[in-house]
Each structure stands twice: as C-alpha cells, then as structure tokens.
Amino acid sequence: MTVAENVTEAAAPQSGVDYVFDPTWDQETERLRTNEALWDAGTIERLERLGVGEGWSALEIGAGSGSVAHWLGERVGATGRVMAVDLETERLGWIERPNVEVARLDLRTDELPAESFDLVHSRMVVQHLEDRPAAVASMVKALRPGGWLFLEDTDSLPLFRSAVSEDFLQDVRAAGYGLMRRSGHEPRGGHFDLQMALESGLEDVTAEGRTVMVRGGSDQARHYMLWLEFMRPRITAEGLLDDARIDEALREMADPAHRWLSQVLISTFGRKPR
C-alpha cells in the first residue's frame, strides 16, 4: 500500500480531539515565528486594504507569537485598541503596548466580548477546530455593526509543488497532513471559511487565495522543517515514513537550490450589517 492510500484510510476526523500542535514543544515559538515569516506580508497588505486605521478596535484570535497583534496595535494608535487572545499567552508578553490587551481564552468554550470590534481577524485557527461554525458565529457576535470579519485558513493541496520533481515531498505532505486531519485539522479550511461567512448573514463577502514560493534553507523553509520535526514521532509511530526518509526530506528542504509552493492561504472577508 502506498503512503497516500494508507493515510487516506486513516484520515477520518475524530471527535473530541485537541489542537494538533503542542504549545509546550520547545521549538513551538520558532515554528510560530517562521509561520509569521511566511504569511505576515500578505496579511498586512490585506489589513491595509480593508482600511484598518487610527481608532479601530481589533480582536486577534489565536494570536500565536503576536506579530499581527503588534502591527495592529501600532496601526490603530492611541485612540484604538487591540485584544489579542490565545490558548497560550506567554509568547505575547513581549508586545508591551498600552493599547494591546492580551487574554488567555479558548475560542471553543469562552465568550468573546459582544458587539465590540471593528475587526476580528484569525489566521490558521478555525481550521483546527472541531466546531468551526460555532467559532465563526462567536466571532460574528463579537463584531460591531459595520465591523469586518477577516479569516485566513489554508487549502493544503498545492503544498510542495515544485520544479524539482513531480512528486517532490508529496509523501511527506500526505503523511503529515493525513495525521493532522485525524487530529481535527481541516486541510480545506479556507473554503469552509467562505461558506460559513456566506451563511452568517455578513455582507460584502469575498475571498481570495495566495501562495508563497518558498526557497530551501530560508526562514520560510524552516517553518516546514519544524513542522516535519514536530510530526516526525507521529509519522514514524504510524509507520508512514521512516527516520531515514524524514532526514532526507529535511535535507531537501534545507537546500537553497530547491523552491516550492506553500499551501494556498485563503482570505475571507465579510462585513456585519449596520
């Protein structure tokens, strides 16, 4: 049986599962920072296009290591405010801005402040949650009339497409994403964000996707290397790939001669009716 078949068989989402990544993993901070290195430029471009500016109140959900919350804090200025929430807030302590409030919060169970924000932004969070419609409903509730919901989640299918070879790292993608799916991660999350936004009574709903051409050995490549290191014990325990193949894949990712596509990150926007 090939890896892809094996993973597909194992891929049915399970109920009651937790967030796939481990906030206490010793390389988790670097994994989150390198995720920011991949996606922040495009996220900030879109936040600017939305018109985020002086005096806005913004909620950043699943703030990770905080680069977007920090940027928002600078952008909205002294008359605006930002609330940055995450399951794990130790990585947000560095922000230290009077207009940025950090709160430990579980989107699955905790209430967000109602009708309070001009912007609710969440990147690569909703697709990890079992009850995605409930998460989106709670974000919509947190918006003021006229406020924007901005969700970013991926379609992972194009990941690692490359000129190197037709099947470049495809065994790694199939093994890693198959296991993530079993832990509740939805690999087509961005598409479902759009559906949920359309079904949420929001106005002016639009969506678009972007992908990054990653160069081996870069900070961006490092993100995928850390992802694979995190997944390694899970992948080998299931017998999907062995350590030798994982070591070889890490060397391929470290090689500056290699370039590959990231996942597609789908940005969905919608506005709460006034």
Interface residues with ligand SAM (CB under 6 A) are: 19, 23, 32, 35-36, 62, 64, 86-88, 105-108, 123-125, 128
Residue written as token pair 């709460």: 272
Residue 3 or 84: which CB sits closer to ligand SAM?
84
3 state SS of 27: coil
Work out how close the CB of 107 gets to ligand SAM at its nearest, in angstroms, rounded to a whole number. Answer: 4
Give min distance, CB of 121 to ligand SAM, in A: 9
CA angle 30, 60, 69 (to 5 degrees): 60
Between residues 32 and 159, which has the closer beta carbon with respect to ligand SAM?
Answer: 32
163 Cβ contact list (under 8 Å, min separation 6): 259
Q: How far out from the chain centre does Cα 229 lie?
A: 18
Buried b (16+ CB within 10 A) or exposed e, 114-131: eebbbbbbbbbbbbbbee
Q: How far is the CB of 208 from ligand SAM (least distance, A)?
A: 17
Q: 50 or 87, CB closer to ligand SAM? A: 87
Nearest-angstrom CA–CA distance, 89 and 105: 9
Q: Return the number of the residue (131 or 255) whose C-beta is nearest ligand SAM.
A: 131
Whole-number minimum distance, CB 53 to ligand SAM, in Å? 21
Nearer to ligand SAM by Cβ, of 35 and 220: the residue is: 35
Burial class (CB in 10 A: 0-12, 13-18, 19+), 203: exposed
Rounded to the nearest whole angstrom, what is the least distance from the CB of residue 139 to ligand SAM in the complex?
A: 11
Q: What element of type H or E holds 151?
A: strand 143-155
Beta strands in 168-225 (DSSP E): 203-210, 213-215
Whichever of 162 and 178 has its CB closer to ligand SAM, that residue is 178
Write down the residue that tokens 């051409």 correspond to. 213
Q: How far is the CB of 2 from ligand SAM (least distance, A)?
A: 28
Q: How far is the CB of 243 from ligand SAM (least distance, A)?
A: 25
| CB-based contacts of 78, cutoff 8 Å, min separation 6 | 98, 99
> In this complex, which beta carbon is closest to ligand SAM, that of residue 66 or of residue 178?
66
> Which CB atom, from 108 or from 234, has the smaller least distance to ligand SAM?
108
CA distance 211 to 214: 9
Can you give the length of the chain in residues?
274
Smallest gap from Cβ 6 to ligand SAM, in A, equals 25
